[in-house]
Amino acid sequence: MLFELFGISTTALTLVTEFLLSAIVVTYAGIRVCKYGDHLGDLMGLSKAWVGVILLATVTSVPELVGSIGAVTLIRAPNIAFGNIFGSNAFNIMIICIIDIVLLRKASLLKAVHHKHVLSAAFGIVFMSIGMCGIYLADLIPFAWAYTFSAMIAFAYLYGSKLIFEHETYHHEREEHLPLDTSHLSFQKVVLYFSFWSLVIVFAGLWLVQLSDELALYPFELGARKFILGHSFVGTVFMAIVTSLPEVVVSISAVKLGAMDMALGNIFGSNLCNMFFIPIMDVIYGVKYGVSIFTDVTKTHIFTGLLACILTAIAISGLIYRSDKKRIIEWDLASMLVIYMLGMVVLFMIR
């Protein structure tokens, strides 16, 4: 009754509460998957390149994969799927800002790591550029050619992963792993726990997709005005942030451990994994609906992709340019904060 006095209906309150609950479950399960995934890589003797940039980045991106595939299978909502991918990529870069503000404060993550991360960040821009070209050109080219963009992303991901692995191995960086006392666990138990929490993410992620669809179509009231958020906005903002929370927690844990390079590698690596999910979605979408997913998404996602590319480019600039001057706030941090917030405002206006 109290909420209805402020124009908030019981239905809206229930929907938001369920969405937050599903977000908590996805986040917690994602954290457990990340920790056991990291230890699994240790037991298997994988190098830092695969643990930091490939394995850890892959398992932190499981919520994005489940959410996006659920969006194109449970409900035909390609805009939620694409919004989740590009939105997560933009928010992942903002994790750098979160780390600087919450943990490092007067220091900067981009100044404390090796500049080798420029390679994975640059590949992220390339992958997103291919995706944006696919969205723009899908309606202008023959039907079958729309799948070409997914093939290009898949090939670029596999080739890029090979180059990153070789680049990391060349630098001979010391191993960095997340703190987790699992010395009493056998390989079989680690695999079991990893699999269990992965299943939790799958079911919680599918629940999140259903709630995102309801949230996108619900007519909210603000005074005398009614508005609908829409699939693109909900996927790009709400769902993207929720599915990126495991990356936030894992990156912060890595920084607390002193594994700065692993934290940044996880951020850029997660963005690469997110883009690799597009070819997977495209195949599923093509089998289920007979068309490429690129033909059914709105051009709004080009703006989100550009936003993610700009934020990544600023991060690359911060990695390369390292001034010794003391500032209240670093220029790259300030730029990313302002551009991301303005981008969210624009997305709400063009939703």
- Give me the mean pLDDT over the 316-330 stretch: 75
- 331 pLDDT tier (thresholds 50, 70, 90): confident
DSSP 11-78: HHHHHHHHHHHHHHHHHHHHHHHHHHHHHHHHHTT--HIIIIIIIHHHHHTHHHHHHHHHHHHTS--H
- 41 pLDDT tier (thresholds 50, 70, 90): low
- In this predicted structure, the answer to whether residue 251 has a pLDDT above a threshold of 70 is yes
Produce one character per residue of 190-203: b if its CB has 16 or more CB atoms within 10 Å, e if not.
Answer: beebbeebbebbbe
* Domain count across the chain: 1
Give the best-scoring range by mean pLDDT among 11-15, 57-61, 97-101, 216-220. Answer: 97-101
Q: What's the mean pLDDT when you consider all of the chain?
A: 81
- In this predicted structure, the answer to whether residue 5 has a pLDDT above a threshold of 50 is no
Dig out the tokens for 208 from the structure: 């999140």
Q: Specify the residue for token string 């954290």.
A: 31
- 343 pLDDT tier (thresholds 50, 70, 90): very high
**Residue 181 vs residue 348, higher pLDDT:** 348
CB atoms inside a 10 Å sphere around CB 327: 11
pLDDT recorded at residue 335: 92
Closest by CA to 158, choosing from 276, 59, 47, is 276
- Give me the mean pLDDT over the 181-203 stretch: 76
pLDDT recorded at residue 27: 77
Tens-place pLDDT, residues 261-275: 878 888 898 899 899
**Residue 141 vs residue 154, higher pLDDT:** 154
- In this predicted structure, the answer to whether residue 20 has a pLDDT above a threshold of 90 is no
Give the CATH number, domain containing residue 195.
Answer: 1.20.1420.30
Tell me the pTM. 0.83
- In this predicted structure, the answer to whether residue 278 has a pLDDT above a threshold of 60 is yes
* Alpha helices, DSSP H, located in 218-299: 231-233, 240-257, 260-289
**What's the distance, CA 273 to chain centroid?**
8
Range of the domain at 234: 2-349
Evaluate whether 124 touches 273 at the Cβ level (below 8 Å).
no
- Give me the mean pLDDT over the 226-233 stretch: 82
Beta-ladder partners of 220: 227
